[in-house]
Structure 1
Amino acid sequence: MFGGDIFILTMAFLSNAILVTFILAVTAIFLPQLSGSVLGLIFRGVGWLIRQRTRSRREYVIARARSEEEEHRKPRQKASSNSLSRSQAEDEDWEKVDSSGPGGVNTTTSSDSSASGDDEWDGIIGFFHPFCNAGGGGERVLWEAVRATQKRWPKAICAIYTGDHEVNKATMLERVETRFNIQLHAPTVILLYLTTRKYVVASSYPYMTLLGQSLGSLIVGYDAFTLLVPDVFVDTMGYAFTLAMCKWLFPDVPTGAYVHYPTISTDMIASLDDDTGVQGINSGTGKGLKGKVKRRYWQLFAQLYGWVGRHIDVVMCNSSWTAAHIRTLWGNEKATTETENGTASSPAVVFPPTAVTELESTITVDAESEKSRQPVLLYIAQFRPEKNHPLVLRSFARFLQERQNNPTYANQPQPRLVLIGSVRHASPDETHIYNLRLLAHELRIRDQTTFLCDAAWPTVLSHLGTASVGVNGMWNEHFGICVVEYQAAGLICVTHDSGGPREDIVIDLGDGATGFRAETEEQFAASFEAALALPEAEKIAMRQRARRSALRFTEEEFAKKWLGQITKLVQAAR
């Protein structure tokens, strides 16, 4: 009897153990999904509340844009009425041009889209670009993207989320035209002013900067959505976390990313072991306990960054180098560029727009124009640490020293270095350029070096037409718009042997070299010498090869590829 009780108790215990094990297994399997579902409902609920609270502002934005459009059309309608009495044919031509949208150029590539009414889409595209007044290459991409979008969908509203409170819309558009020679249709451009931009400023996070800025972008993104919830949301500055948050809050809002450079990359992690000191500002910092902690932190952040990136609907990259890193971090590193479809696993390479056409029509490259070229080295780049101006200054000083010791150049004009770039006021940029001026003084090249801050486009154009060599010293420059401008203007390029310039721009297309690449001070100095010492015939030939190479990066090519990807988002939003 006693033995029977033990058997029964043992079986009961085993049954309970099996039941508990089964419950734990089921919980382990389904709890994450249940938690995810609950969190999803919470985020959607928050998104619904945001939409309700911003509905009146959305209606106001649309009404104001339509009102400004009517005001904008009145003078043109009056001019049209006057011209009608002169020539009916001319009026019909004007109507055809006007119907193509702002700027008078119809960029629709298919008659099918017009027939289906796709060009009549009148939704709101939100461009997340908190520093849209910075005046750099990223801002050129933003405004060229806005112009292409306006021409494709004339009735759509382009909402720019910015933290530049000191600039109103009229001033902003005027600066865009002055700096980039890009004319926009004002009525359908609106600026939405963020109050939380400070949370994405690197100086706010002395430690764990990458994570701090990424989490800070969630605050700024939430700020943006409480201003206005767009129909399509596009990040053009590199804040992938805001796009993921958009999908959590508003699953029906298509998202797109134009990636200038990955927030973190395998090259960055590898630079921790670099002993040469040429691989960026973190070169060689992976030693010791602090270095190990930093490496692990970067590796974990890379995993988080990849998880966030996989939430984005359409992904565009500005270069082959950037696309390769995004494939590795966000998707499938085995994917090739032949399968570019605009996804995280296979991002589309959309080269940034460059004023190639204007430069070609303005600047002549031939034997006659060679006489007006001066021994000037030109570096166009924002005055920020990552642009590595000190490397260029030290290389130039070394080059001058070696040249002074060579009697061959005793009676020749002294070469000069001109540095042109934008400076974000009330920011570390101002301190940075002050330190650069001090360095030029210490290197004894102050009289041969010129700094031009926030130069207007005509000034930049003038220097591109008279300089001889174009310089870029940034390690792993993600693309290098200025390098393409050098080529289009006929300058001989001397760029850092990495990133976009190495992969896409300063390459041999089969008919000879289009410039020089270097890494160290010695190599840059030698390249400066080699570029200026070329025989005149070879100089002209290299300038012309470079100009032909630049045709791959026109504004028209950018607009075509940009619209090809954005159309997917618009169709999803319809």
Structure 2
Amino acid sequence: MAFLSSLILSLLILSATVFLLPKLAGALFGSVFRAVGWLIRSRTRSRREYVIARARFEDAESRAPSAKEGRAQEDEDWEKVDSSGPGGVRTASSSDSGTSGGGDINKKEGSKMDEWDGIIGFFHPFCNAGGGGERVLWEAVRSTQKRWPKAICAIYTGDHEVNKAAMLERVENRFNIQLHAPTVVLLYLTTRKYVVSSSYPYMTLLGQSLGSLVVAYDAFTLLVPDVFVDTMGYAFTLALCKWLFPTVPTGAYVHYPTISTDMLASLDDQSGVQGVNSGAGVGWKGALKRRYWQFFAQLYGWVGRHVDVVMCNSSWTAAHIRTLWGADQSHNNTSTGDGTASSPAVVFPPTAVSELESSIAVDASSEKTRQPLLLYIAQFRPEKNHPLVLRSFARFLQDRTQTPGEPQPQLVLIGSVRHSSPDETHIYNLRLLAHELRIRDHTTFLCDASWTAVLSNLGSASVGVNAMWNEHFGICVVEYQAAGLICVTHDSGGPREDIVVDLGDGATGFRAETEEQFAAAFEAALALPEPEKVAMRQRARRSARRFTEEEFSRKWLDQVQKLVAASR
């Protein structure tokens, strides 16, 4: 009897230990993270006060009647204060107000929500890249400034070579977005190298994700925001924020899931068209890659469930995030969402639809000014698959019958290049490929083109091209449509799900996957009779009105105000 009692008691103790030990360990780790967070807040408090005071001073000065336009850039020594002490401002922004959009920002302040004067931290280490993700960032900043004029928008960036004045000038030139400079603060990271893919030749996804924790810690030691938003896709940073600062609301704007079920499926693809890992699941190395990706997908999902507000840039992205992050799989609607991990809100990226419509005519008269020019606007990076466009264009030129006196089709590739990065090598290889394909005389590369140059090409081109497999959304495709170009896009991702779709009154473009299909689509688009070309261009323009800057701003603020309310 005594033995039986001892056995039962031992089993009870063992069961209690197994049940309670994980909870005790979790509570212990949670306490340690919160203690570290408290120390970070304490050590950065004076720096926070200094940044706020500086922003308030510049804001008041910019609004004062005596403020002179075009005043000289003020002394920037304040941003070089030694960061070793608790009050050091190692990475605050420069204080130029040359690109101030104050007149655009002013509005009546009524409710307490309008008077919110906290700090929204935007985690975007590559904010000077000049791509679609950066357009989203800066449009989000502009919308936030208009909604909460007293709020400070702090951008965590690793672009040390650009001060605030130059950054905002480029934002205006590239995206035609004017910002109120005093309430924009740039915080310069010193650890951005830890999220660069070239730093991890193996296990890149895991390496970058863990590296983002280092960069996020760097960001928090600069300034702890009242609201923290990741606009680049580093979900692990949001989890770290929650562990360190449980009271800081977090938001994610997801452009592209770090891993997706489509990526896992591409391992078994034998066609070679599903991305750079197409068919890589063969053999023991393929089996290891599959297991690694499956493990990472589970880890990514666990991290994503820590986010308070989730926004996705397309129906395709939202479907994958819901599958990976959602604890509740009962939500099946891909077009709407309440902003949770189980039901992400679809917030289409902002596109300059209104400006393009007012600048570029689409009618029978303007059709006569269009040239047989194919335009591809995309960052010069491997995933954009420029080689497929070059090979397809070469095949198209080779197969077509040239009519005497007819102008020869041209291909123009426009994109940003991150300097001192693999992008420069990539574009060099693209130029070599154009030479090998004997289309160099028919191909033009424009790097880091201004918005004026982009607008000019959108007005004169006839066809807009996008060749990325599973493009998460495709801002450039919407720009093509708004400018009246006939789209030829990859039959996947956002272009297939949301953009190049038949809205009931006819096709708005062409979709393709292979080199042969792209070449045939180029031929079909250029060979359309003039009345059909004009009709398709006008249908595409009507379709583009779903993706305006105003629509983005409205949906962005619907979600961010939840974070602002939580921070109060």
- What's the TM-score, normalizing by structure 2? 0.93
Aligned match of 2:338: 341
Q: Percent identity over the alignment?
A: 81
Aligned match of 1:92: none
Aligned match of 2:218: 223
SS at match of 1:160: strand
Asked if the contact 1:418–1:452 (Cα under 8 Å) also holds between the matched residues in 2, the reply is yes
Distance in 2 (alpha carbons) for counterparts of 1:221 and 1:119? 29
1:359 matches 2:356: yes
SS at match of 1:275: coil
Aligned match of 1:459: 453
CA displacement, residues 318-365 of structure 1 (integer Å, 9 cap, x when unaligned): 000000000000004441236510000000000000000000000000
1:73 matches 2:56: no
Shift of 1:16: 1.9
Match of 1:475 among 446, 469, 487: 469
Aligned match of 1:382: 379
Distance in 2 (alpha carbons) for counterparts of 1:107 and 1:481? 29
Aligned match of 2:230: 235
Aligned match of 2:561: 567
Asked if the contact 1:102–1:151 (Cα under 8 Å) also holds between the matched residues in 2, the reply is no
Shift of 1:76: 6.1
CA displacement, residues 253-296 of structure 1 (integer Å, 9 cap, x when unaligned): 00000000000000000000000000000000000000000001
Distance in 2 (alpha carbons) for counterparts of 1:389 and 1:50? 45
SS at match of 2:64: helix
Aligned match of 1:514: 508
RMSD of aligned alpha carbons = 1.4
Shift of 1:73: 1.6
Aligned match of 1:96: none
CA displacement, residues 391-419 of structure 1 (integer Å, 9 cap, x when unaligned): 0000000000001xx25x24311100000
Asked if the contact 1:470–1:483 (Cα under 8 Å) also holds between the matched residues in 2, the reply is yes
Q: Which has the larger share of helix?
A: 1
Match of 2:292 among 274, 297, 301: 297
Of structures 1 and 2, the larger Rg is shown by 1
Aligned match of 2:303: 308
Asked if the contact 2:463–2:485 (Cα under 8 Å) also holds between the matched residues in 1, the reply is yes
AA aligned opposite 2:320: H
Match of 2:543 among 539, 543, 549: 549
Match of 1:62 among 52, 70, 90: 52
Aligned match of 1:97: none
Asked if the contact 1:479–1:500 (Cα under 8 Å) also holds between the matched residues in 2, the reply is yes
Distance in 1 (alpha carbons) for counterparts of 2:173 and 2:7? 76
Aligned match of 1:369: 366
1:530 matches 2:524: yes
AA aligned opposite 1:401: Q
Shift of 1:383: 0.1
Asked if the contact 2:120–2:152 (Cα under 8 Å) also holds between the matched residues in 1, the reply is yes
Asked if the contact 2:62–2:102 (Cα under 8 Å) also holds between the matched residues in 1, the reply is no
AA aligned opposite 1:466: S
AA aligned opposite 2:557: L
Distance in 1 (alpha carbons) for counterparts of 2:480 and 2:133? 17
Aligned match of 1:395: 392
AA aligned opposite 1:15: S
Number of equivalenced pairs = 535
Shift of 1:107: 8.2
Shift of 1:116: 2.9
1:285 matches 2:250: no
Decide whether aligned partners of structure 1 residues 173 and 77 sit closer, same or farther in structure 2, where only a CA change above 3 A counts: closer
Aligned positions of 1:204-283 closer than 5 A: 204-283=199-278
Asked if the contact 2:233–2:257 (Cα under 8 Å) also holds between the matched residues in 1, the reply is yes
AA aligned opposite 1:456: S
CA displacement, residues 33-53 of structure 1 (integer Å, 9 cap, x when unaligned): 111111111111000000000
Shift of 1:70: 1.8
Aligned match of 2:104: 104
Distance in 2 (alpha carbons) for counterparts of 1:76 and 1:356? 37
Match of 1:35 among 22, 25, 34: 25
Distance in 2 (alpha carbons) for counterparts of 1:467 and 1:293? 46
Aligned match of 1:18: 8
List gaps (5 residues or longer) in structure 2: 70-100
Shift of 1:243: 0.2
Asked if the contact 2:175–2:451 (Cα under 8 Å) also holds between the matched residues in 1, the reply is yes
Asked if the contact 1:103–1:151 (Cα under 8 Å) also holds between the matched residues in 2, the reply is no
CA displacement, residues 104-146 of structure 1 (integer Å, 9 cap, x when unaligned): 36789xxxxx543210100000000000000000000000000
SS at match of 1:508: coil
List gaps (5 residues or longer) in structure 1: 1-10, 80-100, 109-113
Distance in 1 (alpha carbons) for counterparts of 2:418 and 2:395? 30
Asked if the contact 1:310–1:330 (Cα under 8 Å) also holds between the matched residues in 2, the reply is yes
- 480-489 vs 36-45, greater mean Cα deviation: 36-45
AA aligned opposite 1:336: N
Aligned match of 1:484: 478
Aligned match of 1:119: 114
AA aligned opposite 1:46: V
CA displacement, residues 221-257 of structure 1 (integer Å, 9 cap, x when unaligned): 0000000000000000000000000000000000000
Decide whether aligned partners of structure 1 residues 116 and 107 sit closer, same or farther in structure 2, where only a CA change above 3 A counts: closer
SS at match of 2:162: coil
CA displacement, residues 457-485 of structure 1 (integer Å, 9 cap, x when unaligned): 00000000000000000000000000000
Distance in 2 (alpha carbons) for counterparts of 1:492 and 1:323? 27
AA aligned opposite 1:104: D
Aligned positions of 1:84-233 closer than 5 A: 102-104=102-104, 115-233=110-228
Shift of 1:74: 2.4
Distance in 2 (alpha carbons) for counterparts of 1:13 and 1:521? 77
